[in-house]
């Protein structure tokens, strides 16, 4: 039995209208060398759903960038416990065993909880009004939090920064998955 990919349809998502793809091609993140990279045809049909996907992509990309940086830092700097060669993915167990480890972890979870509440209040319509709906005029990922004034003023500079954030977030999502998988398979630190 041989398997041929030549007979597969180009779009694997049934009922996909060009409206979703056409709008997606105008959004930040469509950069060389791939352009709009959607080999499985998962681009939503509507602009609203596409913006929800982008909000999720930005949130996960930002967490992955922090996670990848944390992976590197934690490999070489661990002030809360004695460092050894255990994989980074096992360090949380050690932190929780320290005197203030559970308190620190609880504070971290509370910070995540409150930041997610603020993100929902900033960008999402109240659930009793509409479920899974972003506010009118809200740009995915723009939480209005820029205390250092890093957000560019011009449109070209803003697009360049958005492209960098999306591409770095995409790379970080792959990187953190790869680093975690490598430590799970080898049982040793990566760095």
Tokens of 190: 């990566």
Instruction: Per-residue pLDDT tens, the chain, 191 aa: give them.
Output: 444 434 334 333 444 444 688 888 989 999 988 888 888 888 898 888 999 999 999 999 999 999 999 888 888 777 766 666 677 777 777 777 777 778 888 898 999 999 999 988 899 888 778 878 888 888 888 888 888 998 899 999 999 999 999 999 999 999 999 999 998 898 888 77
Judge whether 155 is annotated as a binding position: no
Peptide bond into 33 cis (omega under 30): yes
Judge whether 57 is annotated as a binding position: yes
Judge whether 170 is annotated as a binding position: yes
If you write DSSP's letter for every residue of 94-159 in order, what string do you get? HHHHSTTHHHHHHHHHHHHHHHHHHHHHHHB--TTT-TT-BPTTPPTT--S--TT--S-SSHHHHH
Q: What is the pLDDT of residue 7?
A: 38
The CATH code belonging to domain 47-186 is: 1.10.3460
Q: What is the pLDDT of residue 19?
A: 61
Radius of gyration (C-alpha) of the chain in whole angstroms: 21
Q: What is the pLDDT of residue 2?
A: 45
Judge whether 99 is annotated as a binding position: no
Cα(174)–Cα(45) distance, integer angstroms: 26
Tokens of 98: 């320290």
Q: What is the pLDDT of residue 10?
A: 39
Cα(54)–Cα(158) distance, integer angstroms: 16
Judge whether 164 is annotated as a binding position: yes
Judge whether 54 is annotated as a binding position: no
- Inter-helix orientation angle 155-186/47-76, to 10°: 50
pTM score, whole prediction: 0.79
Q: Spell out the domain ranges in the chain.
A: 47-186
Tokens of 89: 């993915």
Judge whether 90 is annotated as a binding position: no
């Amino acid at each position: 039995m041989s398997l041929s990919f030549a007979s597969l349809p180009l779009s694997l998502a049934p009922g996909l209208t060009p409206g979703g793809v056409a709008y997606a091609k105008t959004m930040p993140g469509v950069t060389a060398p791939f352009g709009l990279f959607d080999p499985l045809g998962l681009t939503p049909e509507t602009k609203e759903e596409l913006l929800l996907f982008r909000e999720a992509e930005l949130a996960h990309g930002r967490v992955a960038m922090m996670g990848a940086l944390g992976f590197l830092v934690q490999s070489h700097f661990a002030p809360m416990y004695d460092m050894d060669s255990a994989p980074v993915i096992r360090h949380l167990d050690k932190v929780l065993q320290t005197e203030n480890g559970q308190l620190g972890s609880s504070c971290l979870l509370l910070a995540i909880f409150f930041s997610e509440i603020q993100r929902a209040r900033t960008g999402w319509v109240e659930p009793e009004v509409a479920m899974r709906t972003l506010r009118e005029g809200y740009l995915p990922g723009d939480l209005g939090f820029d205390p250092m004034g890093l957000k560019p003023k011009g449109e070209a500079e803003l697009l360049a920064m958005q492209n960098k954030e999306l591409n770095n977030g995409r790379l970080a999502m792959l990187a953190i998955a790869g680093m975690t998988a490598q430590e799970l398979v080898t049982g040793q630190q990566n760095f």
